[in-house]
Structure 1
Amino acid sequence: MPIPSIKTATKEAVRRCGGLDAAACVVRVGKSNLSDYGNRDRPHIVPVDVAIMLDLCAQAPLILSAMAHAEGYMLVPTQFGEGHLPRDMQRFTEETSDAIRKGFEILEDGVVDVHEAQAMLAHMQRVKSVAEHIAAGMTKIIAGTRPHIVAASA
C-alpha cells in the first residue's frame, strides 16, 4: 500500500516548511488537517493542491514524487540537465545526506519493514533523479565540445 510513503513525504514536507504553523500559512488547510495528512493512524490523505503547495514550500517534490511512485512512475524535472551546476551539486548533497540519515534511522532497530523500505526507496529515487539531472547537464557539455562557464550568480 503506497499510502504510508505519501504520509511520510507529507510529514517531511511540513517539516521542511518549518513545521505545522508555518505550513498552515501557505496552504488552504489548518494545522489539524496537516497533522492528519502525515499521521499513518489517520485515514486522511493530502489533497493534490495542498501537496503542490507543500512541495513548493519545501523546495522539493517530496509528496508528488511519493504519489507518482505509488502509480509506478518517477518525476523528471522539465529543465532536466539545464540547471545551475553549483545549485544542483548542493541539492545532490542535501538529498544524499537526507537519504543517509533516513537509512541510519531505518537501521536503528535492526529491522527494515515494508513502510521503511518504501520511504528509503523514495529517498534514493530523489538522489537518483538529482544525479541524473547533473549527468544530463554534463552530457550536454560533452556533446557541445566546449567548456561550460559556471558563475555563482547564474
Structure 2
Amino acid sequence: MRSISDKQGLTLKAATRRSVDMAGGGDALQHVTRVKAGNLSKYGSANEENEEKFMPIDVAVESDLEAGAPIILTAMAEILGYQVTPLAHASAADVKPITERDALRIAREAADVVNAMVRAIEDGTVDSAEEREITREIDELKVALVDVMRRAKVRT
C-alpha cells in the first residue's frame, strides 16, 4: 500500500502540470532536461493510464527552475506538512533594485488573478478548467512577488 493518498497524487500531478506550463510547456522544457515532451505530459496526466507515472525528482527541480517558482516543491512540502520559504542570501551586487516596472508587473499579475476569478464565477460555478486557470495566475503572481521580496530584502 502506498504512503500517499490518491488525492495527494492528484495534487502532485496538478503541480507538475502547472510547473511544466510555467516553464514554457513540454516542448520547451524538454530541451533543458533529460525527458522528452511526451513523458513530461504523462507526468502531469491524471488519466488511468498515467496515474502511477510521476516526474523524477531531478526533472521536477529543473521544471521548477525553468518555471521560476518552487511549484512542485511546494506541493511536496505541503503534503509533508511543511512550507517553502525563500532564502535571503543574495548580496546587493547580485540583485537589481526594485523599480516601478516591478510594481506594474505585480499589479498586472494580481489583475490577472482577479480577472480569472471573475470569469470563473460568472456562471455561479467554478469548473476544473477555471480552477486551473486561477491557480496558474496565482502561481504567476507568486513568482513576481517572491522576486520583488527577494530583491527588496537585500541590504548593502
Residue 77 of structure 2 is aligned to residue 68 of structure 1? yes
In structure 2, the residue matched to 1:55 is: 64
In structure 2, the residue matched to 1:2 is: 8
Instruction: Write out the 4+ residue segments of structure 1 that deviate beyond 6 Å after TM superposition.
Output: 80-83
Cα separation, 1, equivalents of 2:103 and 2:117: 21
Cα separation, 2, equivalents of 1:90 and 1:81: 23
Cα separation, 2, equivalents of 1:9 and 1:101: 22
Write out aligned runs for 1:75-90 (5 A): 75-79=84-88, 84-86=97-99, 89=103
In structure 2, the residue matched to 1:11 is: 17
Cα separation, 2, equivalents of 1:105 and 1:71: 33
Deviation at 1:25, TM superposition (A): 1.0
Q: Count the aligned residue pairs.
A: 137
- TM-score, normalised to structure 2, is 0.61
Deviation at 1:55, TM superposition (A): 0.6
Cα separation, 2, equivalents of 1:30 and 1:134: 34
Q: 1:20 aligns with which of 26, 45, 48?
A: 26
In structure 1, the residue matched to 2:3 is: none
| Structure 2: unaligned runs, 5 residues or longer | 1-6
Q: Is the 8 A contact 1:88 1:134 kept in 2?
A: no
| Alpha carbons of structure 1 residues 110 and 96: separation in structure 2 relative to 1, 3 Å | same
User: What is the percentage of aligned positions where both structures have the same residue?
Assistant: 33
Letter of the 2:32 partner, please give it.
Answer: V
- TM-score, normalised to structure 1, is 0.62
